[in-house]
Structure 1
Amino acid sequence: MSASAFLDTWIPAGALPKWQLFIGFTALFNTAQNFLTLNFTRRIYNGTPPNEPVTRLQARTFGVWTLASGLVRLYAAYHIHNKQVYDLALFTYLLAFCHFGSEIFVYRTARFFGPVITTVIVSTTSLVWMISQYDYYVKTSI
């Protein structure tokens, strides 16, 4: 049995639920690293001014946010046809997009072409994908 066929027995068919599952598990890894080390978080928030370092408290707070959004995304992988769950998952990407956008362009604590670019790509791709597939996953099941 292929991995895709195995996943189809547990989550709804389609690439978007699998994406939600992948991103949700990625968030769990990111949560753990935020509690264990500052290395990855410091790489994300590497802008100016450099005299505002990433603290352990900030990393743990970011870790809790990441855990919450990751759990919503994991739940969405299994309940992708539920409008409320779909909307919550979509909003987690919108919040991430706004957060990282403000850190790059307003507060300048992250550099656009630094490691933060992956979070911008994931949030943007996910937003566009979820908005474009809304009718398929939600409205057809209402």
Structure 2
Amino acid sequence: MPSTSSLSPPCPVRPSFLLSCFANHSPVLPDSWLARWQLVVSVAAVFNTVQNYATLKFTRRIYNAVPPHSPVTALQARTFSAWTLTSAVVRIYAAFHIHDKTIYDMALMTYLIAFAHFSSEILIFRTAKMNIGVLSPVLVASSSLIWMISQYDFYVKP
């Protein structure tokens, strides 16, 4: 039986340490922070996909600038779910193939499309007002774009 001094200390309960605890104890996770970020965003997208099939409540928080009889319908939520799940699959694949130019480019494009969509809903179509529901995907998409573009030459080698 191993001594207690050779065992890793338990992970703190605070959410900010969960990813690093899991990453330090799992040989199956990608080896870079950008790849791990792709995985985290993908897992969140899968949960968002399930949520969109279950209820319109959270989708209506994003598209919150429309009248009570809004265009947020069950059909629209399922379509949004299909896109979200598709982007999650691309990003999961990118997490484990971060050096593959084609996959990297596809993942980068998913963030560009998401950023364009949410920005246009806020600025052009005016179906969304700034709140946490719409700010979250805008921040994730924009920060991911900046990170991926700035690290492109590091991860994608000719």
- Shared fold, TM over 0.5: yes
Q: Which residue of 2 aligns with 1:22?
A: 40
Specify which of 53, 71, 74 is matched with residue 35 of structure 1. Answer: 53
Whether 1:118 and 2:118 are equivalent positions in the alignment is no
**SS of structure 2 residue aligned to 1:116:** helix
Measured against aligned partners, the alpha-carbon deviations of 1:20-53 in whole angstroms (never above 9, x if no partner) come to 0000010000000111110110111101344433
Q: How does 1:6-17 map to 2 (within 5 A)?
A: 6-7=25-26, 9-17=27-35
Indicate if the aligned counterparts of 2:23 and 2:29 stay in contact, CA closer than 8 A: no
Measured against aligned partners, the alpha-carbon deviations of 1:100-139 in whole angstroms (never above 9, x if no partner) come to 0110011111112342000100000000000001111112
Indicate if the aligned counterparts of 2:42 and 2:89 stay in contact, CA closer than 8 A: yes
Distance (whole Å) between structure 2 residues aligned to residue 53 and residue 88 of structure 1: 29
Kindly tell me the number of residue pairs found equivalent between the two proteins: 139
Letter in 2 for 1:82: D
Letter in 1 for 2:148: M
Q: Which residue of 2 aligns with 1:105?
A: 123
- Percent of aligned positions with the same letter in both sequences? 55
Q: Which residue of 2 aligns with 1:132?
A: 150
Q: How does 1:48-127 map to 2 (within 5 A)?
A: 48-127=66-145
Distance (whole Å) between structure 2 residues aligned to residue 107 and residue 125 of structure 1: 23
**SS of structure 2 residue aligned to 1:48:** coil
**SS of structure 1 residue aligned to 2:133:** coil
Indicate if the aligned counterparts of 1:25 and 1:70 stay in contact, CA closer than 8 A: yes
Structure 1 unaligned spans of 5+: none
Which structure exhibits the higher relative contact order, with contacts defined as CA atoms closer than 8 Å and separated by 6 or more residues? 1
CA displacement at 1:14 relative to structure 2: 1.6
Q: Which runs of 4+ in 1 moved over 4 A?
A: none
Aligned residues: CA RMSD: 1.5
Q: Rg larger in 1 or in 2?
A: 2
CA displacement at 1:13 relative to structure 2: 1.8
**SS of structure 2 residue aligned to 1:115:** helix
Q: Which residue of 2 aligns with 1:47?
A: 65
